[in-house]
Structure 1
Amino acid sequence: MFTDKGEASLGVVICNYAGKIIAALSKKIPQPPSITCLELLAARRAAIFVHELGLHESILEGDSETVIKSLQKGDMFQFAYGHLFKDTMFYVNSLRSYCFSHTYRKGNSIADTSAKKARFSSDLTVWMEHVPPDIKSFVLADMPFP
């Protein structure tokens, strides 16, 4: 998400196998040159976050079909941002198992909302095992029914 201050923001949400949030973050960054670059930076930050949490398996989900397809294929040549692609794959390849999954923006509302939250907070905010009250309604909407 771009702001009018020459900044952008990222939102990353880590869920367990049952869909329960175990960690989330929002982060301000300098505005990248394109939306594709922003989406790749978000994928990279998600891969780093998974690594920081000590997780060994992950499904990395994103709403940029271009970025997700390139990561699935291992095709960095579609990007002018090959260094970001390589860095993302470095962290992902350290996992025992992983896959990439495309979701539509509507299915990515928690990450989108946490990215919006970064516009009004410090450079990096991390939540562990809970989310702020203003994001809770999106969490409940995304939870699968038993």
Structure 2
Amino acid sequence: MIKINFDDATLAKDQASGIGVVLRDENGLVLASLAQQLPHLYTPLITEAKVASRALQFAAELGFNRVILEGDCHVLIKALKEGSMFLCTDGLFIEDVLFDANFFNDLRYSHVKREGNKVAHSLARYALEVLCSVVWMEDVPPPSFSVVQCDIIGLH
């Protein structure tokens, strides 16, 4: 089973959001990572749902089917665990994540505090500097490398 951490970062002056996704094995070693810029600003919950959806698509594209999806948005993780949606626009984006969940044999949801999601957040901040989607296999971009190393050895 692999763990997928996801997060977002926003840059209001540029009206953009960055998303970061990191896939790790049971030892915490990076299997793949992704940084992608979203060209619009959304509400925080919609952005988190869009990132969660992209994270699941990324894992499915790489052939993983047993995953733990871990993020720091308590409202989203709770809604995914309960399979509930909101009766508003946010609910449509949560529904997208639940649809993407159908591609997995075993999918669990986990909430982590922001301190435990630093690698994904670092990738999301990096995404604000790129204009496209960038993928690394068994690696992360240089600005995130030290964050991964600290995370692996338990320094937060």
Q: What TM-score does the superposition give when structure 2 sets the normalisation length?
A: 0.87
Whether 2:49 is the aligned partner of 1:40: answer yes
Give the % identical residues: 33
Which residue in 2 is equivalent to 1:2?
10
1:12 Cα offset (Å): 0.5
**Could you say which residue in structure 2 is the equivalent of 1:139?**
148
What's the offset of the Cα at 1:132? 2.1
- Indicate which of 120, 124, 133 corresponds to 1:124: 133
Paired letter, 2:71: G
Which structure 1 residue ranges, 5 or more long, are not aligned? none
**Alignment of structure 1 residues 1-146 onto 2, 5 Å:** 1-3=9-11, 4-77=13-86, 80-144=89-153
Alignment RMSD, CA only?
A: 1.5
Q: How many residues were matched structurally?
A: 145
d(CA) in 1 for partners of 2:141 and 2:14? Answer: 24
Shift of 1:78: 5.8
SS across alignment from 2:10 = coil
What code does the residue aligned with 2:57 have?
A: I
**Stretches of 4+ moved more than 4 A in 1?**
none
Q: CA deviation at 1:144?
A: 4.9
Q: Which has the higher strand share?
A: 2
> For residues 108-142 of structure 1, what are the alpha-carbon distances to aligned partners after superposition, in whole Å with 9 as ceiling and x for unaligned?
00000000001112321111111222211111111
